[in-house]
């Protein structure tokens, strides 16, 4: 298996420590960092999507699937 294939496998396997995939952990990290930049305010999905695309190639629909799985709602509640 070449390094790119191995990396794609690692992106979808849940971590034994907390059950999060690398992509889920990245999304949560970016939400946290962006909220800090915005003074604690909610992060618009479009802004989050742009930041996620800097690290992971995914569609907007895929991001919504991850957000649903993580329990993040568009109305600002969790």
Tokens in use for 40? 């604690």
Query: Does 77 score more than 80 pLDDT?
Result: no
Q: Which whole-number Å values give the CA distances from 73 to 11, 27, 44, in the listed order?
A: 23, 14, 11
Which pTM does this prediction carry?
Answer: 0.82
Alpha helices per DSSP H over the chain: 3-12, 22-37, 45-53, 60-70
52 by Cβ neighbours in 10 Å (0-12 / 13-18 / 19+) ranks as: buried
Average pLDDT of the segment spanning 22-39:
96
pLDDT computed for residue 3 by the predictor: 85
């Amino acid at each position: 298996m070449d390094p790119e294939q191995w990396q794609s496998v690692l992106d979808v396997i849940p971590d034994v420590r907390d059950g999060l995939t690398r992509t889920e952990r990245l999304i949560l990290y970016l939400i946290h960092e962006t909220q800090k930049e915005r003074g604690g305010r909610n992060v618009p999905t479009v802004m989050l999507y742009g930041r996620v695309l800097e690290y992971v190639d995914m569609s907007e629909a895929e991001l919504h699937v991850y957000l649903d799985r993580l329990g993040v709602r568009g109305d600002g509640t969790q």
